[in-house]
Amino acid sequence: MPAIRIWVLLATAVAAAGCSSSGDGNDIPSASLMGRSFVSTAVAGTPIPGGGPLTLTFADGRVSATSGCNTATGPVDLQGNTLQVGEMASTLTVCPDDVAGTDNWQDGLLRSQPNWTLVGDTLTLKGNGSTVTMLDRKVAHPDKPLTGTTWIVTALLRPDAEVRSTTLDEVRPALTITPDGKVSGSAGCNTVTGSAQIDGDDVTFQIATTRMMCDSQVMEVERQVLQALDGKTKATIDSDELTIRNTGNNTGLELRAE
């Protein structure tokens, strides 16, 4: 069986214990963080195991955090210049050795009620022995173009789950669309060719492949990749990440620019 890691949310106790005030006069309204994502550019003090980066995404009164392995999400209160999280839920990916301490570092920072300041596109967090400098993700990593970029599949989207696996990581299905709509790449085992009709964020694929046979685990990855690229899709780009969602069968792909 393939070593599949399905991202399941598990409630974990990452609760804030009381309130504090930084006293540094940050007069930026907390709402200015909402709808924005920030990525760390420097860490003074206790470093992120494996180097990170830490990414924080704020939306609808919640924060999502990842530092190189699992993603935690939960409610957040930004009043009083402190970042205070409520009960968090986390994915359950097994972290490689070089980032094995990442989740504990992230948890410690979030639970410490770190002081935050926002100046323009730069967010600074201070807590749990670390000072983390972060930059708006759109500034640090502007949106990649859909065409002319090589996109690597990092997750398979099912109607009720986001699936990652060691097989997927090893075969690295890839997709490139030229400005004139020609498609090339790999579905995991076989070479992909075809065309893409682009109309805004609507992308309609017509895909053909070679007919080689590979290990059954690889072929299952390929089947799901091709299912997502079968016909009309919605393509959304956020920085260096592309999400393709098939509008007919509700499957999809998460991809990252190479």
**CATH for 179:** 2.40.128.270
Same domain (yes/no): 112, 166: no
Same domain (yes/no): 28, 104: yes
Cα separation values, 131 from 90, 138, 254, Å: 23, 21, 31
* Domain boundary, last residue among 110, 140, 170: 140
- Quick one: pLDDT at residue 225? 98
- Quick one: pLDDT at residue 256? 94
Same domain (yes/no): 120, 217: no
- Quick one: pLDDT at residue 166? 86
Name the β-bridge partners of 234: 202, 245
Containing domain of residue 180, as a range? Answer: 150-257
The CA dihedral of 120, 121, 126, 127, to the nearest 10 degrees, is 140
The stretches in the chain having pLDDT less than 70 are: 1-31
- Quick one: pLDDT at residue 31? 63
Q: Is the dihedral of CA 103, 104, 110, 114 positive or negative?
A: negative
Same domain (yes/no): 13, 127: yes
Same domain (yes/no): 47, 175: no
- Quick one: pLDDT at residue 204? 98
Tally of structural domains, the chain = 2
Task: Identify whether the C-beta of residue 54 lies closer than 8 Å to the C-beta of residue 48.
Answer: yes
Same domain (yes/no): 132, 15: yes
- Quick one: pLDDT at residue 98? 83
pTM, to two decimals: 0.65
Same domain (yes/no): 108, 21: yes
Q: Is the dihedral of CA 104, 105, 106, 107 positive or negative?
A: positive
- Quick one: pLDDT at residue 91? 83
Same domain (yes/no): 191, 242: yes
Pick from 103, 101, 105, 99: which is nearest to 130 by CA? 105
- Quick one: pLDDT at residue 121? 95
- Quick one: pLDDT at residue 96? 82
Same domain (yes/no): 211, 250: yes
Residue 145 lies in a domain: no
Same domain (yes/no): 101, 131: yes
Residue 24 lies in a domain: yes
Q: How many CB atoms lie within 10 A of CB 3?
A: 12
